[in-house]
């Protein structure tokens, strides 16, 4: 088949209405033709929307009994090895369409398939929205990090701790002009499932939380908004707290760094 011939039966194929020989030819063609594959994708999406356009009705009891009876009769293949009910259904599409109408046949035979297609479309849209939000958050985070690193007053301090392994490297970067900072980690050991790392600014008699994070791979990149910090802190520290964080440090510093005054 060429593209024109495929285009003539593409909608029928998307509905599952193409005869087997035609369906095989379409599948061979689209395996090498990007243009027709894209057209098939469009047709399948349009087909999926039929599930919303066709009102669903409860089939009469006699129809259900008739279908079950035929399935029972053809559940075991005959000695001649002829095609079963589902296999013959595709071949008999045109006959069925003439008797019941294409919309009725589609509603009865393909409702479940179309509903699955619609569900897939909704899932794809939801996944895409989540990916866009995640990408937007990542871009904003990188913009904040770049603003700190390129600021004329950019500073950094390395945090140290005796209770962590020697491979751990945690650096706090900040800019007073930008009023932003971020914590960059590498080599952090994993915590228990019910624990999180919590970052604090500390003064002589109190501490202010800057956020919590978990680190499954030993890394972190935690941005911080310093606009709410009222006075210059004495230092910055990290503790291990219960999931959800704590109002004040409840354990000793895992990491700590003093600020030069």
Min mean pLDDT across 19-33, 99-113, 124-138 is at: 99-113
Which pLDDT belongs to residue 83? 47
Enter the tokens of residue 98: 């003439």
**Are the beta carbons of 215 and 185 closer than 8 angstroms?**
yes
Min mean pLDDT across 45-49, 187-191, 222-226 is at: 45-49
pTM reported for the whole predicted model: 0.49
Highest mean pLDDT among 147-156, 177-186, 232-241: 232-241
Min mean pLDDT across 10-19, 130-139, 177-186 is at: 130-139
Which pLDDT belongs to residue 134? 67
CA angle (5, 10, 15) in 5-degree steps: 150
169-175 vs 207-213, strand pairing mode: unpaired
Q: How confident is the model at residue 89 (pLDDT cuts 50, 70, 90)?
A: very low
Q: How far apart are CA 173 and CA 189, in angstroms?
A: 21
Residue 99 has pLDDT above 60, yes or no: no
Q: How confident is the model at residue 98 (pLDDT cuts 50, 70, 90)?
A: very low
Each residue of 169-207: pLDDT tens digit? Answer: 889 999 988 889 989 888 888 899 999 999 999 998 899
- Between 246 and 116, the more confident residue is 246
Q: Which domains occur in the chain, in start order?
A: 3-128 (no CATH), 155-258 (2.60.40)
Which pLDDT belongs to residue 235? 94
CA dihedral 142, 147, 150, 156 (to 10 degrees): -80
What average pLDDT does the segment 104-121 reach? 50
Which pLDDT belongs to residue 84? 47
**Are the beta carbons of 6 and 24 closer than 8 angstroms?**
no
What average pLDDT does the segment 113-118 reach? 54
Residue 243 has pLDDT above 60, yes or no: yes
- Between 41 and 174, the more confident residue is 174
Residue 238 has pLDDT above 90, yes or no: yes
Q: How far apart are CA 47 and CA 168, in angstroms?
A: 55
């Amino acid at each position: 088949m060429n593209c024109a011939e495929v285009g003539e039966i593409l909608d029928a194929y998307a509905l599952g209405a193409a005869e087997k020989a035609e369906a095989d030819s379409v599948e061979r063609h689209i395996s090498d033709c990007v243009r027709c594959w894209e057209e098939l994708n469009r047709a399948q999406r349009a087909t999926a929307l039929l599930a919303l356009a066709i009102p669903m009705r409860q089939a009469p009891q006699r129809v259900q009994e008739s279908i079950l009876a035929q399935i029972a009769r053809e559940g075991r293949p005959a000695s001649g090895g002829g095609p079963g009910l589902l296999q013959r259904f595709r071949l008999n599409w045109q006959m069925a369409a003439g008797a019941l109408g294409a919309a009725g046949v589609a509603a009865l035979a393909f409702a479940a398939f179309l509903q699955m297609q619609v569900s897939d479309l909704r899932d794809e849209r939801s996944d895409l929205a989540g990916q866009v939000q995640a990408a937007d958050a990542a871009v904003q985070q990188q913009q904040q990090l770049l603003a700190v690193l390129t600021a004329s007053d950019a500073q950094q301090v390395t945090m140290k701790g005796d209770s962590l392994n020697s491979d751990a490297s945690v650096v706090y970067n900040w800019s007073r002009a930008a009023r932003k900072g971020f914590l960059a980690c590498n080599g952090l050991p994993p915590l228990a499932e019910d624990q999180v790392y919590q970052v604090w600014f500390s003064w002589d008699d109190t501490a202010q939380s800057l956020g919590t994070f978990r680190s499954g791979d030993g890394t972190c990149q935690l941005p911080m908004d310093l606009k709410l910090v009222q006075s210059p802190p004495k230092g910055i520290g990290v503790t291990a707290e219960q999931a959800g964080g704590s109002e004040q440090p409840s354990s000793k510093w895992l990491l700590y760094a003093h600020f030069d005054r």
